[in-house]
C-alpha cells in the first residue's frame, strides 16, 4: 500500500518553518507497512490544494494532509476539501464541546473564530482532537482514503497515534517494510563505506543500505521489504550481527537510541552517578543528558563554567594553570573534571573546554580545538580534538565526543 | 519568477531525516525575489527523479535539487541527471583536486568511491564545493535553470550562498517578495488573532499575514509582494509600527531574532553579566544563551542543580527550605537565583525549578508546574507557571518564559 503526504502552508514555502511533520508521519506509516511514495509541500491556496489532491490520488491509496486547519485567516484547507469532496460545512456538537473544554481549562475566553473550528465537512468522519481546537477529518472516495490533520506537531501526533494509526492498521495488512538502524561515531561516511564494503555487497536483494551522516554520527539504515514479518526481522538481525563483527568499536546504538540515551542506560544499570563541567559546550551536554526522562536517577548536575573566574571559584581550577596553559588545555580540562566530580560528589564526571568560534581562535589553538576529560574515582582520561569552524556543529560534536568517551569508560 | 525544490532521499520518505534544506533554500530564494511554488520529496530512484524533473519543469523557471550526490551506493542522482539532459559523466580535474585537498586536510586516506565523485555530467557547469567532496551542477535547458546540490546541509548552504545566489540574482530582477516577522510571547494564537483583528482586516491587499505558533512563541509573518522594493519595505515598516501600538508587551523581537539573541543584545548593551541556576531545564537555558556567538561577554556560567544536594552545596539553598516546601517552590527558586548570582558574581541571574515530567508530578504540583525567578542586585522577582504534560515542551517553554522575565527586567 502506498501513501502520499501533502503538507500545506505558505510558511513552509518561504522557509519560515521546517516541516517536521512529514518525517514523523513517514516513520509511523512505515511501521504500519505503508510506503510513502512522495511528500509534496504546497501553499495555503484553494486551487493548489484541489489540484494536488487530484494529482496524488491517482497513484496512492492513502493521502494524508497536514496543516491549514488553524483558527486564523490564512487557513483554507477545510473549504478546499468541501469543494474536492463536493460537500459543505456543518456544525459539529462534539467538536464544539471540545473547543469549549480546552478554553475553560486554559482559562482563556472563547472567540468567534474558535467557534468556527467546530464546523466540519458533512462528508467526513470527524476525528476528535483532544489536544487542540481543530478536529481531524477522514474521507473515503473511489476506494481511497484521505485524512486531514492539523499542522501543529503535537496535535497531529496525538491524533495519528491514538486514532488514525489503529484505523489504518485494519485497512492494510499485506506488505511489510522493516528498518534497522545502526548508529556509529568516530569516522566519516566514506571511510566507513570502504570498511564495510564486502558486507554491503553481500546483502540480500530485498535489503537496502543507506548512509545518513550528521555532525559526529553516521547512521547506517537497513531497510527490508517482504510479506513475512518474522522472516524480515531475522534477516535484519543476522545482518546486524555480521556488521557488529566488522566495526564493534564504532557502533554505539541502534534505531531510536541516541548517545545520551545509551550513556543514560549504562549509568542507570551500573547505579553510578554523573556530573559535567562545561565551558565551550555551555550546558549542551547537561541538556542532552536531562532530555532523557528519568535522568535524575544518575545525573546530579553541571557547572557551566563559561568564564575563567567560574572555573576557579566553582571548579577549583588553579588560576596559575589557566595563566600558564590557557583555558583550553589538558591541565585545565583535567582539573575541571576532577573539580566537578569532587564538588558534586559523583562517580563519574565529564569536562569540556574548547574554542567553539567564530572568535577566540589562535594559530596554536584554532577554532574547533577542544579538550575533553572523563574522571572516575581512579583516573582521569583526556583527549584533544579538532572539530571544525562552525560554532553550532563544534558544540554538537564536542558533546557527542565527550559522551562517547564516558560510554567507553562505562562499558 | 517561480522555483520548484526537489529533495531526494529515501531517508526523507521513511522519516529518518527531517528535511531542513527546503526551508532554508526557500527563505534564500525569497530574498532573491524568487517564489517557491512547491517542494517535492522523492526517493533515491532513477525513474522518480526523471519523472519529477519532467513534471516540475513544466511550471517553474528554476528547479533546485538537493541530495543524492554522496559517495555511497544509495546515491543515484548524477546518473539520472545524465539521462534527463542526454549527457554522460566526464572526469573533472578541479573537482578531483578538491577531493584530494579535503582528504589531505582531514588526514584521511582517499578511497576509490571518493575518486568517482570527481566525475560529473558533461552538459553541466560544475559548481565547486570547497566544504565537501561532491560538486554542485548548473544545467540550462529550454530556457530553464536546473541546479543540483549535495544534501549535506552545510555543504549545500555554502555552495548556495557563495556561488548560486549571485548567479541567480543576475537572472532574476523583476518581482520582490519581502517578509517581516514579529515575534510574540505570552498568549495563544487565537487570543492574539482576536486582539489584532481590526489591524489585520485593514492590511493592504498586497500584504498577507500568517500565524506561526511554536511552544511558547507565536510568530506573525507579514509578506508583501510587488515590483518596487523600497515601497514594500516602507509598507512593512508602517504595518509593524501600527502593530506594536496594539500589542507592545507581547512583542520581543523581529525576523531572525530569538529570545536568547534579544536578551543577549540587551545584556551586551548594558554591560551587565548573567548566570543561571537550572533544575528542570537541565542546562537548556545556558545552552540557548551560549548558542549566541560572543555570549562570553555577558554570560559567566550556570549551575545545573538537578539533585537537591547540589542545590544545597552549590547554590546555598537551605536544606530546611526544601524539606518544608519541596524543591519546586517559590522559596527554593528564589534562593537558587540569589545563590548563583552571589557565587558566580553576576549582575543578573535566572533560576528555574519545576516538574518537567513524565514522572514526579503530584496532585498539588502536577507535571508542568514550574517556578522561575530573576534576581538583580536590588530584588528577586518570581512567578509560578503551569506548562503542559510533555517533557520536551515543558523544558522549552520554561526556558523561554525565564528569558522573557529577564528581558522585562532589562528593558
Q: Minimal Cα–Cα distance from A125 to chain B, Å?
A: 25
Grid cell in block for residue B61: 523557471
Closest chain A residue to B39, measured at CA:
A41
Contacts of A293 in chain B (CB under 8 A): 357-359, 391
Q: Please list every residue in chain B whose beta carbon sits closer than 8 Å to the beta carbon of residue A223.
A: 10, 14
Partner-chain contact B210 A74, CB within 8 Å: yes
Closest to A347 in 3D by CA, of A409, A293, A303:
A409
Picking from A15, A111, A358, the nearest residue to B293 by CB comes out as A358
pLDDT score, position B262: 98
Assign domain B176-254 one CATH number from 3.40.50.2000, 3.40.50.1370, 3.30.70.2860, 3.40.50.150.
3.30.70.2860
The arithmetic mean of pLDDT across residues A158-175, rounded, is 82
User: Is residue A75's pLDDT more than 90?
Assistant: no
Nearest residue on chain A to B392, alpha-carbon basis: A291
Is the domain spanning A2-171 CATH 3.40.980.10? The answer is yes
Chain B residues near residue A73 by CB distance under 8 angstroms: 193, 200, 209
- Work out the mean pLDDT of chain B and round it to a whole number: 92
Q: Residue A173: pLDDT above 70?
A: no
The residue count for chain B: 411
Neighbour-count burial for B66-83, b at 16+ CB within 10 Å, e otherwise:
bbbbbbbbbbbbbebbbe
Facing residue for B307 by CB, picked from A39, A278, A301: A301
Question: A-chain residues within 8 Å CB-CB of B70?
Answer: 189, 211, 213
Exposure b/e, A149-186, CB count within 10 A at least 16 = b = bbbbbbbbbbbbeebbeeebeeebeeebbbbbbbbbbb
Mean pLDDT across the stretch B92-113? 80
pLDDT, averaged across chain A: 92
Q: Cβ contacts (< 8 Å) between A108 and chain B: which residues?
A: 188, 190-191
pLDDT tens, position by position, B44-78: 899 999 999 999 988 899 999 999 887 665 568 89
Taking the C-alpha atoms of residue B275 and residue B344, their distance in angstroms, rounded to an integer, is 7
Per-residue pLDDT of B198-233, as tens digits, reads 999 999 988 988 888 888 899 998 988 888 889 999
Q: State whether residue A384 sits within 8 Å of chain B by CB.
A: no
The predicted structure's pLDDT at residue B66:
95
Q: Hey, is the C-beta of A272 within 8 angstroms of any chain B C-beta? A: no
Mean pLDDT of A131-151: 92
Q: Which residues contact B79 (CB under 8 A, 6 or more apart)?
A: B46, B89
pLDDT of residue A389: 83
Element (H, E) at A211: strand A207-214
* Residue B362 CB neighbour total at 10 angstroms: 11
Confidence of residue B388 (pLDDT cuts 50, 70, 90): confident
* Confidence label for B409 from pLDDT (cuts 50, 70 and 90): very high
- Which range of A94-103, A111-120, B33-42 scores highest in mean pLDDT? It is B33-42
Residue B17: pLDDT above 70? yes
Task: Specify the pLDDT at position B277.
Answer: 98
Q: What is the mean pLDDT of residues B331-343?
A: 98
Number of alpha carbons in the 13 Å side-chain half-sphere of residue A219: 19
Residue A82, pLDDT above cutoff 80:
yes
Of B23, B281, B391, the CB nearest to A293: B391
The residue in chain B having the minimum alpha-carbon distance to the alpha carbon of residue A153 is B214
Express each pLDDT in A250-267 by its tens digit: 999 999 899 999 999 999
Q: Which of A22-31, A342-351, B259-268, B328-337 has the lowest mean pLDDT?
A: A22-31
- ipTM field: 0.75
CA distance B140 to B73: 27
Q: Which residues of chain A make contact with B13, given a CB cutoff of 8 A?
A: 26, 35-39
User: Do A313 and B194 lie within an 8 Å CB cutoff?
Assistant: no
CA distance B232 to chain A (A): 17
Select the more confidently predicted residue: B388 or B314. B314
Hey, is the C-beta of B333 within 8 angstroms of any chain A C-beta?
no
pLDDT in tens, A5-27: 999 998 899 988 899 999 999 98
DSSP B330-356: HHHHHHHHHHHHHHTT-SEEEEEEE--
What is the per-residue pLDDT for B107? 67
Residues 122..161 of B with a Cβ closer than 8 Å to A: which? Answer: 133, 152, 154
As annotated, the residues of chain A forming the CATH 3.90.950.20 domain(s) are: 259-410
Residues B131 and B284: their CA atoms lie apart, in Å, by 30
- Write out the residue limits of the CATH 3.40.980.10 domain(s) in chain A: 2-171
Residue B66 sits at the chain A interface (C-beta within 8 Å): no
**Which range (A173-187, A197-211, A311-325) has the least confidence?**
A173-187
Q: Cell for A104?
A: 475553560
Top-confidence residue, B291 or B57: B291
A16 vs B contacts (CB less than 8 Å): 23, 27, 179, 181, 210, 212, 219, 221
Q: How confident is the model at residue A74 (pLDDT cuts 50, 70, 90)?
A: low
Q: How confident is the model at residue A73 (pLDDT cuts 50, 70, 90)?
A: low
Q: What is the DSSP string of A359-373?
A: S---SSS-TTEEEEE
pLDDT band at B169 (very low <50, low <70, confident <90, very high): confident
- Give the closest-approach CA distance of A136 to chain B in angstroms: 18
Nearest residue of B to residue A311, measured between CA atoms: B301
Residue A176 in this model has a pLDDT that exceeds 80: no
CA-based R_g, chain A, Å: 26
- Between 3.40.50.300, 3.90.950.20, 2.30.110.10, 1.20.1250.20, what CATH number should domain B259-410 receive? 3.90.950.20
> What integer pLDDT is reported at residue A199 of this predicted model?
96
Tens of pLDDT, residues A267-303 = 999 999 999 999 999 999 999 999 999 999 999 999 9
Q: Where do the CATH 3.30.70.2860 domains begin and end in chain B?
A: 176-254
Q: Judge: A293–B357 Cβ closer than 8 Å, yes or no.
A: yes
DSSP state of A164: I
Tell whether the model's pLDDT for residue B301 goes beyond 80: yes
Amino acid at each position: 500500500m502506498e501513501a502520499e503526504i501533502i503538507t500545506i502552508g505558505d510558511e513552509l514555502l518561504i522557509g519560515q518553518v521546517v516541516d517536521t511533520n512529514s518525517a514523523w508521519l513517514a516513520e509511523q506509516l512505515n511501521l504500519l507497512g505503508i510506503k510513502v511514495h512522495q511528500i509534496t509541500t504546497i501553499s495555503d491556496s484553494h486551487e493548489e490544494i484541489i489540484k494536488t489532491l487530484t494529482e496524488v490520488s491517482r497513484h496512492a491509496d492513502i493521502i494524508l494532509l497536514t496543516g491549514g486547519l488553524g483558527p486564523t485567516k490564512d487557513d483554507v484547507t477545510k473549504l478546499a476539501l468541501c469543494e474536492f469532496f463536493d460537500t459543505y460545512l456543518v456544525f459539529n456538537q462534539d467538536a464544539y464541546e471540545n473547543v469549549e473544554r480546552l478554553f475553560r481549562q486554559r482559562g482563556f475566553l472563547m472567540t468567534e473564530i474558535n467557534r468556527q473550528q467546530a464546523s466540519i465537512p458533512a462528508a467526513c468522519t470527524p476525528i476528535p482532537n483532544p489536544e487542540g481546537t481543530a478536529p481531524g477529518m477522514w474521507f473515503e472516495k473511489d476506494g481511497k482514503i484521505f485524512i486531514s490533520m492539523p499542522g501543529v506537531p503535537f496535535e497531529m501526533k496525538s491524533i495519528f497515534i491514538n486514532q488514525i494509526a489503529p484505523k489504518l492498521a485494519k485497512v492494510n495488512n499485506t506488505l511489510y517494510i522493516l528498518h534497522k538502524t545502526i548508529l556509529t561515531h568516530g569516522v566519516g561516511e566514506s571511510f566507513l563505506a570502504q570498511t564495510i564494503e564486502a558486507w554491503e555487497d553481500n546483502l540480500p536483494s530485498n535489503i537496502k543500505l543507506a548512509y545518513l551522516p550528521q555532525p559526529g554520527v553516521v547512521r547506517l539504515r537497513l531497510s527490508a521489504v517482504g510479506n513475512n514479518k518474522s522472516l524480515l526481522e531475522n534477516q535484519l538481525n543476522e545482518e546486524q550481527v555480521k556488521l557488529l563483527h566488522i566495526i564493534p568499536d564504532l557502533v554505539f546504538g541502534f534505531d531510536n537510541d541516541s548517545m545520551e540515551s545509551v550513556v543514560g542506560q549504562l549509568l542507570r544499570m551500573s547505579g553510578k552517578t554523573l556530573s559535567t563541567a562545561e565551558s565551550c559546550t555551555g550546558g549542551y551536554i547537561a541538556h542532552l543528558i536531562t532530555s532523557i526522562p528519568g535522568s535524575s536517577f544518575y545525573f546530579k548536575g553541571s557547572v557551566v563554567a563559561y568564564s575563567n573566574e567560574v572555573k576557579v571559584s566553582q571548579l577549583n581550577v588553579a588560576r596559575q594553570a589557566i595563566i600558564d596553559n590557557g583555558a583550553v588545555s589538558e591541565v585545565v580540562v583535567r582539573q575541571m573534571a576532577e573539580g566537578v566530580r569532587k564538588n558534586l560528589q559523583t562517580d563519574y564526571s565529564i569536562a569540556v573546554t574548547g574554542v567553539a568560534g567564530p572568535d577566540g581562535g589562535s594559530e596554536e589553538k584554532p577554532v574547533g580545538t577542544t579538550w575533553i576529560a572523563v574522571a572516575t574515582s581512579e583516573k582521569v582520561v583526556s583527549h584533544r580534538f579538532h572539530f571544525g569552524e562552525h560554532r553550532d556543529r563544534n558544540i554538537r560534536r564536542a558533546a557527542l565526543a565527550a559522551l562517547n568517551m564516558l560510554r567507553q569508560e562505562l562499558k
